[in-house]
C-alpha cells in the first residue's frame, strides 16, 4: 500500500474482505482498530466502500488489546516501575544467553544432569501482548534451577575478565533475595493479571 491515509487503508481492508466473501456491511459485526484507523476515519470509509442494504454504519470500537499494550508500555516507562524493567532485563539477558546454539545445548545438558528437562527459553518481545510476556516468565521460572547451574558452569569455563564480570553480575542478580521475590510465581502472576486487565 503506497498511501497510509484513510482511503487507502479502507480500500486495502475492503479488498481483503472481498477475498473471503465479505462484500457488505451486514456481514461485519464491528471494526476494532487503533488510533490511526479512528483518526483517519477508516471505519466510515470502509462502510462507504462496502454495499449496505440497511444503510447502517459499521460499529467502530477501540482495539482493547492495543489499549492494554499501550497502558503496559506506559506503566513500564514510569519511574516507579524500575524493578519491572530490571526484572525484564535480567530475564532477557539470561534467556538470550541460553536460547540458541551452544548456550541452548549447555542448558539442555544441565537439565539432563539434574534429571529435570528444560524448556527452550523464550525471548522478550515488545510487539507481543501480555499472554506472551507471562509465558516468557513462566518458562524462565520453570528453568530457573537449570539456568543458574548453566551460568555457574559458564563462569567456571570463562577466561575473559569482562565476560566473567557479566556472569558474576547475573548470578548475583538471580541469587539476590529481592530479585528472587520479584521473579516469584506470585509476583509474576500478579504482573500477568495486571497486564491482562
Predicted confidence at residue 90, as pLDDT, reads 87
pLDDT class for 197, splitting at 50, 70, 90? very low
**pLDDT tens per residue, range 21-53:** 888 888 888 888 888 888 888 888 888 888 766
Least confident of 31-35, 66-70, 122-126, 183-187: 183-187
Least confident of 25-34, 75-84, 90-99: 75-84
pLDDT above 70 as % of the chain:
79
Whether the per-residue pLDDT at 179 is higher than 90: the answer is: no
Whether the per-residue pLDDT at 97 is higher than 80: the answer is: yes
Whole-angstrom Cα distance, residue 137 to residue 135? Answer: 5
13 burial type by CB count under 10 A (0-12 exposed, 13-18 middle, 19+ buried)? buried
Predicted confidence at residue 54, as pLDDT, reads 65
Structural domain spans, the chain: 6-62, 67-196
Write out the H or E segment, with its range, that includes residue 113: helix 101-114
25 torsion bin: left (phi>0), alpha (psi -120 to 50), beta (else): alpha
Taking all residues of the chain, what is their mean pLDDT, rounded to a whole number? 81
**pLDDT tens per residue, range 101-142:** 999 999 999 999 999 999 999 987 767 766 677 788 889 989
Q: How far is CA 148 from the centre of its chain?
A: 24
| Cβ count near 35 (within 10 Å) | 12
Q: Which cell numbers hold the place of 83?
A: 524493578
Mean of the pLDDT values across residues 70-83? 70
Whether the per-residue pLDDT at 189 is higher than 60: the answer is: no
Whole-angstrom Cα distance, residue 75 to residue 77? Answer: 5
Amino acid at each position: 500500500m503506497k498511501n497510509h491515509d484513510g482511503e487507502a487503508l479502507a480500500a486495502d481492508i475492503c479488498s481483503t474482505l472481498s477475498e473471503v466473501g465479505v462484500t457488505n456491511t451486514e456481514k461485519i459485526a464491528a471494526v476494532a482498530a487503533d488510533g490511526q484507523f479512528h483518526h483517519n476515519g477508516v471505519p466510515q470509509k470502509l462502510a462507504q466502500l462496502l454495499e449496505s442494504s440497511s444503510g447502517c454504519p459499521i460499529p467502530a470500537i477501540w482495539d482493547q488489546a492495543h489499549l492494554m499494550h499501550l497502558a503496559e508500555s506506559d506503566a513500564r516507562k514510569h519511574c516507579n516501575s524500575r524493578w519491572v524493567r530490571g526484572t525484564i532485563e535480567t530475564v532477557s539477558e539470561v534467556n538470550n544467553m541460553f536460547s540458541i546454539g551452544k548456550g541452548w545445548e549447555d542448558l539442555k545438558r544441565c537439565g539432563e544432569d539434574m534429571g529435570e528437562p528444560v524448556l527452550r527459553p523464550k525471548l522478550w518481545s515488545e510487539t507481543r501482548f501480555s499472554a506472551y510476556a507471562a509465558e516468557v516468565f513462566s518458562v524462565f521460572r520453570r528453568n530457573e534451577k537449570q539456568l543458574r547451574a548453566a551460568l555457574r558452569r559458564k563462569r567456571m569455563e570463562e577466561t575473559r575478565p569482562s565476560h566473567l564480570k557479566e556472569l558474576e553480575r547475573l548470578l548475583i542478580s538471580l541469587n539476590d533475595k529481592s530479585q528472587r521475590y520479584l521473579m516469584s510465581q506470585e509476583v509474576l502472576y500478579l504482573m500477568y493479571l495486571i497486564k491482562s486487565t
